[in-house]
């Protein structure tokens, strides 16, 4: 167990629907990162939160949004789902931004989303 918990592990839903993916960071980590891994695009950074606030944004679609709550867990919301959104979604956490070298970086086991 890496300490980063992602739920659910698998999700199958229809096009046009909305889903929420959840991530609990490793105990003590304040920063959460979301990544998407698709067959054609590989691993891509979506968004980062630090202590409840958005810190950095990557190639995240407007149909996607995220937030980090006071207890530091984070949710990634995907709406108006399309077939191309099928992918593995990973969450990772670190203590503080810019402290990776000292404190490390931990991945969750991912949520596999299948849009049918």
Closest separation between CB of residue 72 and other proteins, Å?
16
**Of these, 5, 44, 65, 79, which contacts other proteins (CB under 8 A)?**
44
Residues near other proteins (CB under 8 A), total: 28
Burial grade of 46 (CB within 10 A; 0-12, 13-18, 19 or more): buried
Per-position x/- string for 22-41, each x denoting binding to other proteins as judged by CB under 8 A, each - no binding: ---------x-x-x------
Question: Does residue 58 interact with other proteins by CB under 8 A?
Answer: yes
User: Omega of the bond prior to 8 within 30 degrees of 0, cis?
Assistant: yes
By the 8 A CB rule, do 56 and 46 touch? no
What is the rounded distance in angstroms from the CA atom of residue 53 to the CA atom of residue 1?
A: 27
Through-space distance between the first and last CA atoms of the chain, rounded to whole angstroms: 30
Which SS3 state, helix, strand or coil, does residue 36 take? strand
Which of residues 49 and 115 has its CB atom nearest to other proteins in the complex?
Answer: 49
Stretch that binds other proteins, among 13-21, 66-74, 75-83, 97-105 (CB under 8 A): 97-105
List of residues contacting other proteins (CB under 8 A): 2, 31, 33, 35, 42-45, 48, 55-56, 58, 90, 92, 94, 97-101, 104-110, 112
């Amino acid at each position: 167990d890496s300490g980063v918990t992602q739920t659910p592990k698998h999700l199958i839903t229809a096009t046009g629907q909305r889903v929420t993916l959840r991530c609990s960071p490793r105990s003590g980590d304040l920063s959460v990162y979301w990544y998407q891994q698709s067959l054609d695009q590989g691993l891509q950074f979506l968004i980062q939160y630090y202590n409840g606030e958005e810190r950095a944004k990557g190639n995240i679609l407007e149909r996607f949004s995220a937030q980090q709550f006071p207890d530091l867990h984070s949710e990634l919301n995907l709406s108006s789902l399309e077939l191309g959104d099928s992918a593995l979604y990973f969450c990772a956490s670190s203590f503080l931004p810019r402290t990776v070298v000292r404190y490390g970086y931990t991945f969750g086991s991912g949520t596999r989303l299948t849009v049918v």
